Amino acid sequence: MTVLVVGGAASGKSAYAEELLCRLSGNAPRIYLAAMRPFGAEAEARVQRHRAARASYGFQTMECYVNLKRAAVPSGAAVLLEDVGNLCANELYDGAGSGDGAADAIVDGVAALQARCAALVIVSNEVGSGGARYAGDTLRYLRTLGEVNRRLAARADAVCEVACGIAAYYKGEEPR
């Protein structure tokens, strides 16, 4: 089963996704596939806070900043991909990323994960309701992430948006 979880900043989407993956994992190993490349002390501190917060869930953390297809996720694992917004930025702007091929690289990487995983929960950022005018690289990033979200939603069994810690399902039903 694949579930796409989207939401705004501090919406509760990550906590919801972690709990959801625990429900879906059964006896499968739980993998937290982290896409945020930590730059500097503040980012490192954030990573440590997040690891401490999910310590009781039994996740094995793996980092994958670009080229999701090559993530060494064991077959049959339950995977939480956190998050597509960071992965998109890395693919677009990191020298090792795929640049203008970022959307295809991410969607192809998710397809590879789906083929190996018992369960996959994908966390992404909601970017469609900003209402502001953007230019240049910001617009490029938002358009790419929006395309990725649409394509991942089409591949997912269920899609929900989390706001104020509450998940509203737009496709499929909340897995039990």
pLDDT tens for 119-146 read 999 999 998 777 677 888 899 999 999 9
Domain total in the chain: 1
What is the per-residue pLDDT for 117?
Answer: 96
Cβ(103)–Cβ(110) below 8 Å: no
Is residue 145 in some structural domain?
yes
Is residue 150 in some structural domain?
yes
pLDDT tens for 13-46 read 999 999 999 999 999 999 999 998 877 888 788 7
Cβ(59)–Cβ(99) below 8 Å: no
Q: Which domain holds residue 63?
A: 2-171
Average pLDDT, the chain: 93
Summarize the confidence of residues 105-111 as an average pLDDT.
Answer: 98
Cβ(6)–Cβ(160) below 8 Å: yes
- Could you tell me the CATH number of the domain that includes residue 62? 3.40.50.300
Question: 121 Cβ partners below 8 Å, 6+ apart?
Answer: 2, 3, 5, 17, 20, 21, 24, 78, 79, 80, 81
Is residue 176 in some structural domain?
no
Is residue 62 in some structural domain?
yes
